[in-house]
Amino acid sequence: MTDSAVESYVAAFDELTSNGSAPSWVQSMRRAAFERFAALGFPTTKNEDWHYTSTSPIADQEFVLLDSASGDVRREELAPFMFGASGWYTMVFVNGRFAPELSDCGKLPKGVKLRDLASAWTAAPEVVDRVGKLASYDVHAFTALNAAFMHDGAVVQIANGVEIDQPIHLLFVTDANAAKGMMHPRNLIMVGANAKATVIESYVSTSEAMYFTNAVTEVSLADGATLRHYKMQREGSRAFHVSTTEANQARDSHYVSFSFAIGGSLTRSNVYTTLDGEGGGATLNGLFMLDGEQHSDHQTQIVHAKPNCFSRELYKGILDDRSHGVFNGKVYVHPIAQKTDGKQTNKTLLLSDTEHVDTKPQLEIFADDVKCTHGATIGQIDQTALFYLKSRGVNESLARRLLTYAFAADVLETIEVDAIRLDLERMTLQRFV
């Protein structure tokens, strides 16, 4: 990757930092992060974590930084992305900027705070101590790029002992005005001791414009906290999307993640969590469905840093046409993390002979009293099952759809929010018609 790929961001960075509207600590972080991004450059396929994904389609473009007045989304345009649910606490962002007129954050339960980052970093001192502490920009170039350009995003705070009754939906929408633009949302989710919450993080588009989303979400779980975190990527077919979620878990906490990806031309999803207290658990599940020439890369990492923790992971992919899927999952067990119980599974269904997938489950274990397994399978539709359905009068097209849905069913059944599960089941049935 040439230096010019990084240089194209210099003017946009100078424009952002020249307005001086952000606090001094934000400006300082931005400068340090941009310097680190310039030093790292865009990753190449020589980087082990990017071996199967070239960032050239992103690096070769010149994206502009969108301003606060670039969006034009009406409330009725949001309906297809709301899962048919009502009563959820919703924060809407249009082309990377908070849109209060489209949001519904009223009558929040006691102990629950929802803020946009651009307001929170001056009004909430505790945010200063958290932003940038979990998702470090020292190693990952896209995280550094996000920190350099971060301006807005969601800050979710759940106080100790609070069990929120409805999901919180963070909806990031892009429209045609985002063409050739870039957005760098930065989200912070803090769940207090023994609190429970569900957060949906959606990235969607109302147009087929080409743009670049580079999102980072930091998650902090205190002792005994439980967070169900659903990340939905349903952007336009020409979109570029890179996202990183970094979670830190204290004693007896449980982080439940579900990643769903069907949109975009080139997408990358990183989900990292560290079990940093005894008795904690991490459950990372995901489903990606690709066709055409889509490329979707999914990277997970679960670090067992303390004893007596468990992790479960199930990722499935369905590929058609000339698409390319990637799954790279790592479970890392520290020497101190005795009594670790981990299981990782990746399965991919190929619907034709022209798509391909690269899968690499990994275990790195430095403790001797553990129970860890991993496995990966790649296959096509079961011809015996297909013949059986056809012999019972089901036409081949419907039979293939039913068998494709059946492949995805067990991971979809892990979704505990009925509205999300039903909508994703519908999309799975309709995806490969």
Is the pLDDT at 382 greater than 90? The verdict is yes
Over residues 186-191, the mean pLDDT reads 97
DSSP result, 283-344: EEEEEEEE-TT-EEEEEEEEEE-SSS-EEEEEEEEEE-TT-EEEEEEEEEE-TT-TT-EEEE
Grade residue 182 by pLDDT with cuts at 50, 70 and 90.
Answer: very high
Nearest by Cα to 337 from 282, 270, 285: 282
Over residues 65-75, the mean pLDDT reads 78
Per mean pLDDT, which range of 117-126, 291-300, 329-338, 404-413 is the poorest? 117-126
Dihedral over Cα of 151, 153, 159, 160: its sign: negative
**Predicted local distance difference test score (pLDDT) of residue 4:** 72
Q: 0.85 exceeded by the pTM?
A: yes
- Summarize pLDDT for 244-258 with one digit per residue, the tens: 999 999 999 999 999
Over residues 192-203, the mean pLDDT reads 98
Grade residue 399 by pLDDT with cuts at 50, 70 and 90.
Answer: very high
Q: Is 426 left (phi over 0), alpha (psi -120 to 50) or beta?
A: alpha
Percentage of the chain lying above the pLDDT 70 cut: 98
**Predicted local distance difference test score (pLDDT) of residue 186:** 96
Is the pLDDT at 422 greater than 60? The verdict is yes
**Predicted local distance difference test score (pLDDT) of residue 198:** 98
- Summarize pLDDT for 117-128 with one digit per residue, the tens: 988 888 877 777
Instruction: Provide φ and ψ at 79, rounded to 5°.
Output: -55, -45
Per mean pLDDT, which range of 211-215, 318-322, 429-433 is the poorest? 429-433
- Summarize pLDDT for 309-363 with one digit per residue, the tens: 999 999 999 999 999 999 999 999 999 999 999 999 999 999 999 999 999 999 9
- Summarize pLDDT for 89-103 with one digit per residue, the tens: 999 999 999 999 999
Q: How far apart are CA 260 and CA 176, in angstroms?
A: 23
Q: Check residue 108 and report its DSSP letter.
A: P
Q: How confident is the prediction for the chain on average, in pLDDT?
A: 94
Q: How far apart are the first and last CA of the chain?
A: 39
**Predicted local distance difference test score (pLDDT) of residue 1:** 45
Grade residue 167 by pLDDT with cuts at 50, 70 and 90.
Answer: very high
| Residue 266 and residue 293 in contact, taking contact as beta carbons nearer than 8 Å | no
Is the pLDDT at 376 greater than 80? The verdict is yes
Residues 6+ apart with CB under 8 A from 67: none
Most confident of the following: 74-78, 116-120, 307-311, 389-393: 307-311
Percentage of the chain lying above the pLDDT 90 cut: 86
| Residue 246 and residue 272 in contact, taking contact as beta carbons nearer than 8 Å | yes
Is the pLDDT at 2 greater than 70? The verdict is no
Q: Containing H/E element for 57? A: helix 56-59
Per mean pLDDT, which range of 19-28, 272-281, 288-297, 312-321 is the poorest? 19-28
